[in-house]
Every structure is written in structure tokens, then in C-alpha cells.
Amino acid sequence: MSPQVLKARKGEETRAQILEAAVQQASEAGFESLTIGTLAERTGLSKSGLFAHFGSRTDLQIAALDESSRRFTEAVFLPALKVPRGLKRLRALFGNWIVWPERAKLRGSCPMQAASAEYDDQPGPMRVAVAERQRHLARELAKAVQLAVDSGELRAGTDAGQFVFEMFGLVLACYHTQRLLGDAGARARALAGFERLVDANRATAGKPASRPAAARR
Amino acid sequence: MSPQVLKARKGEETRAQILEAAVQQASEAGFESLTIGTLAERTGLSKSGLFAHFGSRTDLQIAALDESSRRFTEAVFLPALKVPRGLKRLRALFGNWIVWPERAKLRGSCPMQAASAEYDDQPGPMRVAVAERQRHLARELAKAVQLAVDSGELRAGTDAGQFVFEMFGLVLACYHTQRLLGDAGARARALAGFERLVDANRATAGKPASRPAAARR
């Protein structure tokens, strides 16, 4: 391997190591806690080394947001794509979503959710980036709802945007009541809420199909 | 009026002025942004004057959380208590909840919600205080749901904790999608979600009663 290739590979590894530390920190203490200084401390790298990878604090924050997004997709969407499209896939998406921070080995809460709370009233590039990713997520979820309409499981005329809004609410309530109810209690409530939402939009209203054991209460 | 009384009254006014500034700041930038220094700047008072009222940063943060709680009660619960108990009051609570930051003239988002996101992974007195207030709110809301069961509007056996969890989710989704959909769109979705939640728990299932105009979509 040429010295240039080795150097490039080493650079990539360092960058990945910095981003891993940044996502962990954002999960534990939010994106506003990310500075070149705190990350230098956390990774054991020099500040100038960090600057070589991320020219500014904002660059670092945006890169950490992108890496969080990538890991969200990996933990929530990719496994759901192996499940048949329609209600099964929608249910898999929801189930993956409420446990993803844990599955991605994050020690704190969902970084996307942290970013959302931090920047909703703070104009600037992070607010723009967060809103863009939230819009993208809403569109992808709406497509999954539409597939369950197309499969005939949800009734024609189901408002996909409304469905996604309510799914989102259940996930947020789950994250926020975990400290109150503990993980198992919060997740059982979220799953029960999701099944109610599905039942309200079923093609054959009033005839709830069999539910996965986890959602029975 | 005696000089002592005058002095005490002046002290109360200054304290109220500091707390007003603290709640505004928490609404805009979170409780972690509250320091004796930033508040001295915001109120034009001296740091030593602020220390005379709040002995430490944590005291100030807890006092600001209590003041946010008081204003939440004033904006959400007090007006709802004038509405007949049962479904009408529950609907009033929900309607007041989704607009309360605006009604309380806060320039940012709900401070209770900000605190919840900030401290869920940060052990310490603020986390304890936030969780305590969240538990209290959940209990008060569960009582309101139970009154709607007692009035015969919601079916016997309605799981009040589950109902409150789903209400909470709709409020969180509303706050978080306002930037995406704008105020009117997010609120219409939240109200539609609430009416669906009510319908799913109605005593006479399948016979939705008349809805307030705001909830029609």
C-alpha cells in the first residue's frame, strides 16, 4: 500500500474516532456541549489535530449531526427494509425507532431529538440542518405509511402526514417518560399507542388484526 | 408603610423581575444557559444583587423551574377549572397546553419541555426537580381523565396513564413540528390526534359526538 493511501486511511480512522466521540457526547449532553476543546479531551487528540479534520465548531456539530443521522438510518430503516412492506414494515420502523439509541450503544438519549430541542429557537446553520433532516425523516415515514395503504392494510384516504405526526408524538413521549416509568413501561405504552393509531386507520375498521405479543397489555 | 415593609416589598419585586428574565431565557436557550452572570446582564442588576436573592446557580435554576411551573398552572389548569369537569375540561386542558408558551408571552418554547430534554441524562438536583414536576403533572392530568370517565363520557376501564402518555406525545409532537409545519398546521394535527384519542376511549364507541370547530380538518 502506498504511503499516501496509508495516510488517507489513517485520516479516515481518526475522523471516524472523533465522530464516534462527538455522537456519544451529543447523546449525553447535547450538541451545544461539542467544542474542539471538549472533544480533544475526550479523544486524547490535540486541538490542532481536531482542527485539521473540522475547520470550525459548526463544521464539527454538523458532521456529528450527519453521523447521528447515518446511525439512525442504520438502526431504524435498514433492518425494517428486510421486513415485507406494509403494516409489518411500519411496525418494525416504530419498534426500531423507540429503542434505537440503546441499539446504537448510545449512553444518552436520541441525539436527533436532543438537537431538535436545542435548536428550535436558535437561528443558525444547526437549526437549518436539524429542520432539513426532520423534514426528510417525515417524508420517508410518510412513504412507509403510504405503502401500508397501498397494501390494503390501512384504509385508502389515511392521512399519512397525520399518521407520522402521531407516531412521532408516541416516540417523543416514550423517550421523555422513560425516566418516569422506566424503559419497559414507557415502551409498552408507546407500542399500545401505536396499535391504537393503526386500528383507527385500519382498512377494516372495528376488526383489529392479531397484534405482536409486545403490544398486548 | 414602615421602612421594613417597603424594603421587603422592593425585594419581592426584584426577585420577581429576576425570575421573569430567567424564565424568558430558559424558554429561549434552556436552563443550562442560566448563570448569575448572564442574568445580571439581562436584568441590569449587579452580580452581588443577584447573589443576595439566589445563593447559587442551582438555586436560581430551581427557582426558575418553579416559576415556569407556576405559569404553566396559571395558563393551562386555572382556565380549564372554569370549564365543566369531564371531556370539556380535558379538551380545554389539551387546547391550553399546546398554546401555553405563547399565551404566557414566552418568546421561545415551553421551558418545562426544554428542562426535560436538558436533564434527562444529567444526574443532579435539576434532573430530580424536573422528574418530580413531570410526575406531578402526569398525576393531575390522570385525575382529569378519570373525571371524564366518572362523567360517563369516556368508557369505564379507560387507562388514564395511557391516555395521559398519548396526550403528552401529541403536545411534544406539536411543539417539535411547529418549525416544520408552522403553528397552525402543527396545532391542527395535535387537535385531530386528540379527538382520535378521545374517540378511541369513548363510552359509546363508534359514535363520535360533535367536535369543536378547531378540531375539524
Protein fold of A3-204 = Tetracycline Repressor; domain 2 (1.10.357)
* Residue B154, strand partner residues: B202
Confidence of residue A116 (pLDDT cuts 50, 70, 90): confident
User: A30 or B82, which is more confident?
Assistant: B82
pLDDT tens-place string over residues B155-207: 999 999 999 999 999 999 999 888 767 778 999 999 999 999 999 999 875 44
CB atoms within 10 A of CB B211: 16
Instruction: Answer yes or no: is pLDDT of A207 > 70.
Output: no
Confidence of residue B109 (pLDDT cuts 50, 70, 90): confident
At A159 the pLDDT is 96
Averaged confidence pLDDT in chain B: 89
Q: Which of A117, A186, A192 sits opposite B114 (nearest CB)?
A: A117
Confidence of residue B211 (pLDDT cuts 50, 70, 90): very low
Mean pLDDT (whole number) for B118-128? 86
At B215 the pLDDT is 43
At A217 the pLDDT is 39
Decide if A163 contacts A144 (C-beta within 8 A). no
pLDDT tens-place string over residues A36-89: 888 999 999 999 888 888 888 999 999 999 999 999 999 999 999 999 999 999
Instruction: Answer yes or no: is pLDDT of A198 > 90.
Output: yes
Q: What predicted TM-score, i.e. pTM, was given to this entire model?
A: 0.87
Mean pLDDT (whole number) for B65-84? 96
Q: Which of B113, B172, B180 sits opposite A169 (nearest CB)?
A: B172
B172 exposed, middle or buried (CB, 10 Å; 0-12, 13-18, 19+)? buried
HSE, CB side, 13 Å, CA atoms: give it for residue A88.
7
CA separation for the pair A199, B56 (Å, rounded):
51
| H or E element at residue A196 | helix A160-200
Under an 8 A CB cutoff, do B113 and A118 touch? Answer: no
Using the CB atoms, write b or e for B106-122: b if 16+ within 10 Å.
Answer: bebbbbbbbbbbbbbbe
At B150 the pLDDT is 97
Instruction: Answer yes or no: is pLDDT of A210 > 70.
Output: no
Instruction: Answer yes or no: is pLDDT of A13 > 80.
Output: yes
User: A28 or A210, which is more confident?
Assistant: A28
Confidence of residue B85 (pLDDT cuts 50, 70, 90): very high
Mean pLDDT (whole number) for A184-204? 94
Residues 137-196 of A with CB under 8 A from B: 138, 159, 161-162, 165-166, 168-180, 186, 189-190, 192-193, 196
Q: What is the CATH number of domain B65-215?
A: 1.10.357.10
CA separation for the pair A64, A198 (Å, rounded):
34
Mean pLDDT (whole number) for B93-112? 92
At A136 the pLDDT is 93
- For an interface test with A, the pick among B159, B177, B183 (most A C-beta atoms closer than 10 Å) comes out as B177
pLDDT tens-place string over residues B1-38: 788 888 888 888 899 999 999 999 999 888 988 988 88
> Nearest CA of chain A to the CA of B180: how many Å?
7
> Nearest CA of chain B to the CA of A47: how many Å?
25
At A215 the pLDDT is 43
pLDDT tens-place string over residues B4-14: 888 888 888 89
Helices (H), B75-202: 78-81, 87-103, 111-119, 125-150, 160-200
What angle do the packed helices A111-119 and B111-119 form, to 10 degrees?
140
CA separation for the pair A99, A110 (Å, rounded):
9
Instruction: Answer yes or no: is pLDDT of B59 > 60.
Output: yes
Mean pLDDT (whole number) for B58-85? 95
- Domains of chain B by residue range: 65-215
Neighboring chain B residues of A215 at a CB cutoff of 8 Å = none
Instruction: Answer yes or no: is pLDDT of A214 > 60.
Output: no
Confidence of residue A9 (pLDDT cuts 50, 70, 90): confident
Mean pLDDT (whole number) for B107-115? 87
Residues in chain A: 217
> Nearest CA of chain A to the CA of B189: how many Å?
6
At B8 the pLDDT is 83
- For an interface test with B, the pick among A164, A177, A195 (most B C-beta atoms closer than 10 Å) comes out as A177
Q: What ipTM is given for this predicted complex?
A: 0.86
pLDDT tens-place string over residues A165-186: 999 999 999 998 887 677 789 9
Q: Phi/psi of residue B68, each to 5°?
A: -65, -45
At A107 the pLDDT is 87
Using the CB atoms, write b or e for A25-35: b if 16+ within 10 Å.
Answer: bbbbbbbbebe
At B209 the pLDDT is 45
